[in-house]
Amino acid sequence: MEPCASGALFPMLSRLTPYLLVLPLISFIVVFTYIPIAASLNLSFREWDFLSPTMPFVGLENYRLLFSSHEFWNALRVTVIFAVISVPIRLGLALLIASYLVREALPARVLRGALFLPSVTSTVSIAVVFSWLFATDYGMVNAFLQTLGLGKVPWLQDPQLALWVLVIVNTWKQLGYDIVIYIAGLQAIPQELYDAAAVDGGGKARVFRRVTVPLVMPTTYFLLVVSVIEAFQIFTVVDVMTQGGPAGATDMLVNMLYRVGFTLFDIGQGSALAVVLFALLIALALFKARVLGRRVHYEA
């Protein structure tokens, strides 16, 4: 499939053509993605505050400090808890709603549009709006609770509750995306299987448990891994709503990375954290590649 005419006329040019075509993209990727990986690794072995003229090599000192700091283990713990709470809630709700939407034609389109909208909306706006919603004194949630005769709840000031608010915001934002992916997965299930299940008898709940859930498993695996990877990179909502507070109760890994790197300007420590986060996420991504590999096999 060599382009024949120009290949015959300008053999040299023809051989260079594909390289010239990929050159712009490859340059961007090398300069802003691949070199930075090497640079982060290098910086993580050095001590630097962004200003001093030298950056002495300190070996594994940055990693030792990181792994012995309460801050890191707290951020890792909070991030893992956030992922463990929010991902199952998101996927469970999304599958239930998607399995309803996939069968209804017109109402589904209206509802799908509404549910999908937050996932393309500015995260900062959403975080600001929910900050107001959950504000202690003039927020809508507390106003509602008060009409029920209940007291004000300090949602974002309570270390126990703040993380749950972040889970709610994240679910509200991402649910539509999960639903759209689930709908695509559900549409791939042959109708005959539902018909067969109906013939065998059994309520909607039974069909859902015995047919829908197992057959949509490949989509669930995909969403599971994608949303765990995403949960590990959460930053914006936290930065706007709580900045990691109160008392570190919502401090996630990327928020710590931003703080160490760009407010404390501890470049070495920040890079070590970036490398650790990178290793974690690459491990998850490779796991995803394996799982998706199995999925292809499963469908074939």
Partner 1 sequence: MKPDSRILTALALIAGLLFLSPALYSIFMSFQTVDAYYTGKFEFTFENYALAIGQYNFARYLLNSIIVAGLVTLIALTVSTLAAFAFARFRFPGGNLLFAAVVATLMIPSHISLIPNYLTLAKVGLLDTYAGLILPAISNGFAAFFLRQYIRGIPVALDEAAYMDGATPLKVLWRVIVPIARPAIFAMGLFIFISEWNSYIWPLVAVGEEELYTLQIGLARLYRVNPGEDVINWPLVMAASTITILPVLLGFVFVERHLVRGITMGAVK
- Among positions 59-88, residues that touch partner 1 (CB under 8 A) are none
The answer to whether the CB of 227 falls within 8 A of the CB of 91 is yes
Exactly one of 45, 72, 118, 244 binds partner 1 (CB under 8 A); which one? Answer: 118
171 binds partner 1 (CB under 8 A): no
198 binds partner 1 (CB under 8 A): no
Stretch that binds partner 1, among 60-68, 193-201, 209-217, 221-229 (CB under 8 A): 221-229
Closest distance between partner 1 and the C-beta of residue 200, in Å? 27
- Among positions 224-283, residues that touch partner 1 (CB under 8 A) are 226, 229, 233, 235-236, 239-240, 254, 257-258, 261-262, 267, 270-271, 274-275, 277-278, 281-282
Task: Classify each residue of 173-195 as buried b or exposed e, where b means 16 or more C-beta atoms within 10 Å of its C-beta.
Answer: bbbbbbbbbbbebbeebeeeeee
Give 71 or 197: the residue with its C-beta nearer to partner 1: 71
Exactly one of 76, 95, 102, 115 binds partner 1 (CB under 8 A); which one? Answer: 115
Give 164 or 202: the residue with its C-beta nearer to partner 1: 164
- Among positions 19-38, residues that touch partner 1 (CB under 8 A) are 19, 21-22, 24-26, 28-29, 31-37
Exactly one of 49, 64, 121, 204 binds partner 1 (CB under 8 A); which one? Answer: 121
Size of the site for partner 1 (CB under 8 A): 91
Closest distance between partner 1 and the C-beta of residue 133, in Å? 5
12 binds partner 1 (CB under 8 A): no
Give 115 or 211: the residue with its C-beta nearer to partner 1: 115
Stretch that binds partner 1, among 60-68, 73-81, 106-114, 194-202 (CB under 8 A): 106-114
